Structure 1
Amino acid sequence: MQQTLDWIDWTVLIVTLATIVGYGTWKTRGSKNVQDYVRGGNSSKWWTIGLSVMATQASAITFLSTTGQAFSDGMGFVQFYFGLPIAMVIICLVFIPLYHRLKVYTAYEFLENRFDLKTRTLTAILFLIQRGLAAGITIFAPAIILSVVLGWNIITLNIIIGVLVIIYTVSGGTKAVTVTQKQQMFVIFAGMIAALVIIINLIPDKVSFTDAIDIAGATGKMQVLDFSFDLNNRYTVWTGFIGGTFLMLSYFGTDQSQVQRYLSGKSMKEMQMGLLFNGLLKVPMQFFILLVGVMVFVFYQFNPSPLNFIDASTQKVLASEYGNAYKTLQDKQAELFDTKQRLSLAYTESKNPDLKSELFAIDSLEKTYRSESKFLIKKAIDPEYRDEYIKLQKEVEDLKSNPESEIYKEKSAQLNTLYKDAAKDTETNDRDYMFITFILNHLPKGLIGLLLAVILSAAMSSTASEINALATITSIDLYGRNLKDDKGEQHMVNMTKWFTFGWGIVAIIIACFANLAENLIQLVNIIGSIFYGNVLGIFLLAFFFKHIRGHAVFIGALITQVFIIVLYFLDNFEIINLPYLWLNLIGCVIVMVIAHILQPIIPKKVKA
């Protein structure tokens, strides 16, 4: 069922977005040289840098997927950010002084000075690949939202969102991105605080905020820290501190979309203070966003929730041959809700540990119903999937007389994998739809428009940073570096604007072909983890190992990138078990080891 926005929500949404785009375009028009357009005239104060850095990372995916992650799995995802403050300190001590001293426009200029042109070019290309993909995803996320809200074609929405970002980013460059991000972060903070207050007020009066936390805790949603070394757990203290530190070091230290934010600072001190501000505020901010998702979960302990939050998929399965099976699951969930509501109220009054275990069991059972619903939806919408499942199911049934046989075990594993795949499909994975469904159905008029503005502001801020950085790398590291003649400042500014426009179009095209993984925030981080470790290793070799030269690094980086991609696919097909955050550490270590092995055996006549 498509939602219709009230005129108040339309007014709030349009005025907010028009103000941001209009102000950014007007305030930063008329850049005359590369210094102004690419580095924002080096005029940013520390709080502007800090907010800009946060806004670049806080895309629409942050608010859609993080809340959905918390609703489903609780607060544990915050561990992903534990390495961020450590990374901020290291970047302030090592990266920023070097960039500032060399007066570079991009992080990769330094690599040519230290190694050679081919290493600079390779690293820049790796950045363009992964950040170009991510830019498309940050457009795709809010397009999903508005397609649900308005019933518009998602490709049309991708184009509209992309064009809005292109307008002010082409016009004002880095300064336009930075200026607008201050307004965007204000809208984001105001909207999320308002959302949390409203959600708490929607919970029954007899249930206090402390009671709500207790209910969430009873179902395991408030478990923040996991000290286990279980590789089946993607988010633990160790993956956060180790894998997360390496990911954040690479992202904030070598990713141009972030480096460009703090290179616009008035001085080295302003740059460092801006990053430290981000390091202090980012983890609490993510904790707060996760808490919003957990409070929505508590809200649904006292209010009926859909079996699947994607209404279009629900309608498809109900109209299919699996409609009766789906209705049976809906009836079971409805019965479960009555028990869940009664137990939740009883637990808030008594805090009886037996009730706590019952609440946990009910939540687990509801997860099972949701998983089964996704499986039915997948079979209803994908005939090939259904046929493959039926075929495998028959083979397993025929072989079950000999359960110890290898062929039985193999076919059973394939059947189990096929069942799990249902939860990853675009039309069945509903985590990313949870928060927007709640907003549209339960928040008051006016606040709906504000929350939509929050999500779109986040999308615009992060996409603008990305296409701004992509254009800068293309202009400075590839186009400008290979120009035989100096064509002047204005030529380079004009070309950077054209590259900005071009990358905006590329991002829109990628958005039109994007798919959901288990959820969007994981997809963005997975893309980053495949490339970031290798890039970070190259920079660490440049900083700390002066005897390593360019040829060894270049070959090592190529080998490492292939190896990391192979590792990712081995994990994706469940041949090995390796949480993606570890790819950052592995990529970093491998490129450094290979470069050290190659350096002594590369002939000295080879120029580095």
Structure 2
Amino acid sequence: MVLSWIDWTVLAATLLTIVGYGTWVTRNNKSAQDYIKGGNSTKWWTIGLSVMATQASAITFLSTTGQAFSDGMGFVQFYFGLPIAMVIICAIFIPLYHRLKVYTAYEFLENRFDLKTRSLTAILFLIQRGLAAGITIFAPAIILSIVLGINIVYLNIIIGVLVIIYTVSGGTKAVTVTQKQQMFVIFAGMLAALFITLNLIPDEVTFGDALEIAGASGRMEVLDFSFDLENRYTVWSGLIGGTFLALSYFGTDQSQVQRYLSGKSMKEMQMGLLFNGLLKVPMQFFILLVGIMVFVFYQFNPSPLNFIDASTKTVLTSEYGDEYRSLQQKQNLLFTEKKELSLSLAKNESAILIEKISKLDSVEKTYRLESKFLIKKAIDSAYTTKYNALKSEVEALKSNPKSETYISKSEELNTLYKSAAKDTQTNDRDYMFIRFILNQLPVGLIGLLLAVILSAAMSSTASEINALATITSIDLYGRNIKEKKDDASMVRVTKWFTLGWGIVAIIIACFANLAENLIQLVNIIGSIFYGNVLGIFLLAFFFKHIKGNAVFTGALITQVIIIVGWWYDWMPYLWLNLFGCVLVIVITNLIQSVTKSK
């Protein structure tokens, strides 16, 4: 895909304006108060937008729309606990932070427990947020590198350097002021994308019809009240697991805490978070809706079996090319039938039509699964050898289909097939929205939507490396290095740490790899650590008899157990937040009662 000069101009002008503005406005930040806490001059609506921008990375727009396209609106349940968490943080966390006049959330832990507990919690933050910073750069870079034909390493460096320029220059205030512009670009771009998508749907299909067509394919099932732990997204996992995740993220993660610590007053901080709590769920619903409308668009326009052109070209030129072409022909026939049924449904709602569309959608999902399987075989010769050998074993055992060996080998073959079809090299849901943008949107708007993706990447990455540098300088360097430190030296050291973490994020991005879904990967990384960290803070708030040694040991044991539980897939990742929080509280109380530690 070759962008027009208009799109390149819109993209470059948007990004350079944001970087230039952030650098210029904050060029005179010289004190630690200004550089780290933004001079405590931020108003509530700026705090709210900054908090939203920090969370709304490029992954949000690429993966959430793809999530809706593939699975529907159910993912919005993930955010149901967020408003609850905002109220709790405003009532408990913010008054405490404001009264203590802390630079970081972890300063409080030293006052309550001891230095080693503060340092441990800070290190847990640095690990998970350092990884996330790399992923927020990598997510748009891997996708844009493929669709635009630009080397991914160059894109990682470009995104990272742009962020480093204004974050090193202006610190927290630079991050906050640029996020206002970034959120404006994001809102404008997504609104434009929705209206253009609706305009591309046939005139006789109304917005209500579009929702009906999406519903016929199961995409409009928003609420799931089941208690099935195998289902990642339900009302209960969102309200319970989501609340604990949001409590830890917004209440203890420095990338968010630093946003509202820059507020003019406690009231401004609280209003900013409540503003975020009111808008976040509707915003995510809206982004999912964009993905749903793109899905409806493809009910009336041919869609590829796989949205990664490079993967399609690879399989078509391989020995599996004929099989893939056969799938494409089946997909074309299916599309013709789906289009007729969808038009009929728009004119006359019918339970029979809905059932037929649902069945065709299931068939199409099978085709997409098979296409990914063929791509995997074409890309990975080692996998092909293993698959063919196992298939031969199964064929040889067919004479006795009831034997344990045959059943075992058949299950192994089936597992291999499914894992191959979902392999990271063939996963294309994160590419769906960007492919739609480049192929269907008009010149100029393409540049704006690309600016949306890169602005989101820059805003979240800037917040992360700003927070990483603050934690490193205040919680580790400031408290563990015994030498005299004045205001100017702390600003200078924090700038160097900002540069260092920016470089680390770029390096992680260069060595990262795609997961099944990027937005899930970021939330999984957070869930592994957030429950434990939240539990430590709750111990500090509500368990006055707990001492530093007990919580330090309990936190270490808990973190090991959580990592083991995640590795062996004990539960859906959202529940790890609740599990980790409860576990560290229980273990710490047991250690305290047994050892009577100080």
TM range (shorter): over 0.9
The answer on 1:95 being equivalent to 2:98 is no
Q: Which residue of 1 aligns with 2:591?
A: 598
Shift of 1:8: 1.1
The answer on 1:365 being equivalent to 2:358 is no
Moved over 6 A (4+): none
Where does 1:40-119 land on structure 2 (aligned, <5 Å)?
40-119=38-117
Letter in 2 for 1:124: A
Q: Determine helix, strand or coil for the equivalent of 1:300.
A: helix
The structure-2 alpha-carbon separation of the partners of 1:468 and 1:401, relative to structure 1 and needing over 3 Å to count, comes to same
Partners of 2:372 and 2:422 within 8 A in 1: no
The structure-2 alpha-carbon separation of the partners of 1:409 and 1:539, relative to structure 1 and needing over 3 Å to count, comes to farther
The structure 2 residue matched to 1:581, chosen from 567, 574, 577, is 574
CA distance in 2, matches of 1:495, 1:19: 27
Shift of 1:566: 0.7
CA distance in 1, matches of 2:55, 2:423: 25
The structure 2 residue matched to 1:482, chosen from 475, 480, 495, is 480
Partners of 1:424 and 1:516 within 8 A in 2: no
Output one character per residue of 1:428-448: Cα deviation in whole Å (capped at 9) or x when no partner.
000000000000000001100
Letter in 1 for 2:293: M
The structure 2 residue matched to 1:536, chosen from 534, 537, 560, is 534
Q: Determine helix, strand or coil for the equivalent of 1:581.
A: helix
The structure 1 residue matched to 2:387, chosen from 389, 411, 420, is 389
Q: Which residue of 2 aligns with 1:158?
A: 156
Q: Which residue of 2 aligns with 1:520?
A: 518
The answer on 1:455 being equivalent to 2:453 is yes
The structure 2 residue matched to 1:298, chosen from 296, 299, 305, is 296
CA distance in 1, matches of 2:478, 2:187: 39
Shift of 1:401: 4.1
Q: Unpaired runs of 5+ in structure 1? A: none
Q: Determine helix, strand or coil for the equivalent of 2:300.
A: coil
Partners of 2:370 and 2:421 within 8 A in 1: no
Where does 1:326-337 land on structure 2 (aligned, <5 Å)?
326-337=324-335
Q: Which residue of 2 aligns with 1:289?
A: 287
Taking structure 1 as the reference length, the TM-score comes to 0.97
Shift of 1:280: 0.2
The structure 2 residue matched to 1:197, chosen from 195, 198, 202, is 195
Q: Which residue of 2 aligns with 1:340?
A: 338
Q: Which residue of 2 aligns with 1:413?
A: 411
Partners of 1:4 and 1:149 within 8 A in 2: no
The answer on 1:249 being equivalent to 2:242 is no
The structure 2 residue matched to 1:126, chosen from 124, 133, 140, is 124
Q: Unpaired runs of 5+ in structure 2? A: none
Shift of 1:300: 0.2
Q: Determine helix, strand or coil for the equivalent of 1:224.
A: coil
Partners of 1:310 and 1:427 within 8 A in 2: no
Q: Which residue of 1 aligns with 2:273?
A: 275
Output one character per residue of 1:299-353: Cα deviation in whole Å (capped at 9) or x when no partner.
0000000100000000001111111111110010001010000000011111111
Shift of 1:387: 1.4
Output one character per residue of 1:115-135: Cα deviation in whole Å (capped at 9) or x when no partner.
111111111111000000000
Output one character per residue of 1:544-587: Cα deviation in whole Å (capped at 9) or x when no partner.
0000111111111111111111111111xxxx5x2110111100
Shift of 1:419: 1.7
Partners of 1:60 and 1:455 within 8 A in 2: yes
CA distance in 2, matches of 1:452, 1:242: 35
After alignment, is 382-391 or 82-91 more displaced?
382-391
Q: Which residue of 1 aligns with 2:19?
A: 21
Output one character per residue of 1:410-434: Cα deviation in whole Å (capped at 9) or x when no partner.
3333222222222443320000000
After alignment, is 283-292 or 510-519 more displaced?
510-519
The answer on 1:136 being equivalent to 2:140 is no
Shift of 1:285: 0.1
After alignment, is 421-430 or 331-340 more displaced?
421-430
Q: Which residue of 2 aligns with 1:168?
A: 166
Partners of 1:424 and 1:517 within 8 A in 2: no
CA distance in 2, matches of 1:67, 1:200: 15
Q: Which residue of 2 aligns with 1:467?
A: 465
Output one character per residue of 1:485-530: Cα deviation in whole Å (capped at 9) or x when no partner.
2221111101100000000000001001111111100000000001
Q: Determine helix, strand or coil for the equivalent of 2:221.
A: coil
Q: Determine helix, strand or coil for the equivalent of 1:272.
A: helix
CA distance in 1, matches of 2:232, 2:406: 29
Q: Which residue of 2 aligns with 1:557?
A: 555
Q: Determine helix, strand or coil for the equivalent of 1:309.
A: coil
Partners of 1:322 and 1:380 within 8 A in 2: yes
CA distance in 1, matches of 2:478, 2:493: 9
Shift of 1:402: 4.2
Q: Determine helix, strand or coil for the equivalent of 1:301.
A: helix
The structure-2 alpha-carbon separation of the partners of 1:550 and 1:408, relative to structure 1 and needing over 3 Å to count, comes to farther
Shift of 1:403: 4.2
Shift of 1:232: 2.1
Partners of 1:347 and 1:355 within 8 A in 2: yes
CA distance in 2, matches of 1:257, 1:405: 56
Q: Which residue of 2 aligns with 1:433?
A: 431
CA RMSD, aligned part only?
1.1
CA distance in 2, matches of 1:318, 1:453: 32
Partners of 1:13 and 1:452 within 8 A in 2: yes
Output one character per residue of 1:354-390: Cα deviation in whole Å (capped at 9) or x when no partner.
0100001111110100000000001110111111212
CA distance in 1, matches of 2:70, 2:96: 43
Shift of 1:406: 4.0
Taking structure 2 as the reference length, the TM-score comes to 0.99
CA distance in 2, matches of 1:476, 1:507: 20
Letter in 2 for 1:489: D
Letter in 1 for 2:110: E
The structure-2 alpha-carbon separation of the partners of 1:94 and 1:408, relative to structure 1 and needing over 3 Å to count, comes to farther
Letter in 1 for 2:236: W
Partners of 2:51 and 2:256 within 8 A in 1: yes
Q: Which residue of 2 aligns with 1:318?
A: 316
Shift of 1:602: 1.6
Q: Determine helix, strand or coil for the equivalent of 1:328.
A: helix
The structure 2 residue matched to 1:217, chosen from 215, 220, 231, is 215
Partners of 2:78 and 2:238 within 8 A in 1: yes
Shift of 1:231: 1.9
Partners of 1:425 and 1:516 within 8 A in 2: no
Partners of 1:423 and 1:518 within 8 A in 2: no
Q: Determine helix, strand or coil for the equivalent of 2:592.
A: helix
The structure-2 alpha-carbon separation of the partners of 1:584 and 1:400, relative to structure 1 and needing over 3 Å to count, comes to farther
Partners of 1:552 and 1:595 within 8 A in 2: yes
Partners of 1:64 and 1:432 within 8 A in 2: yes
The percent of aligned pairs where both chains have the same amino acid is 79
CA distance in 2, matches of 1:480, 1:318: 58
CA distance in 2, matches of 1:175, 1:278: 19
CA distance in 2, matches of 1:424, 1:489: 52
CA distance in 1, matches of 2:323, 2:147: 28
Letter in 2 for 1:554: F
Q: Which residue of 2 aligns with 1:178?
A: 176
Output one character per residue of 1:154-184: Cα deviation in whole Å (capped at 9) or x when no partner.
0111011100000000000000000000000
CA distance in 2, matches of 1:383, 1:111: 52
CA distance in 1, matches of 2:548, 2:399: 61
Shift of 1:601: 1.6
Partners of 1:100 and 1:268 within 8 A in 2: yes
CA distance in 2, matches of 1:88, 1:219: 34
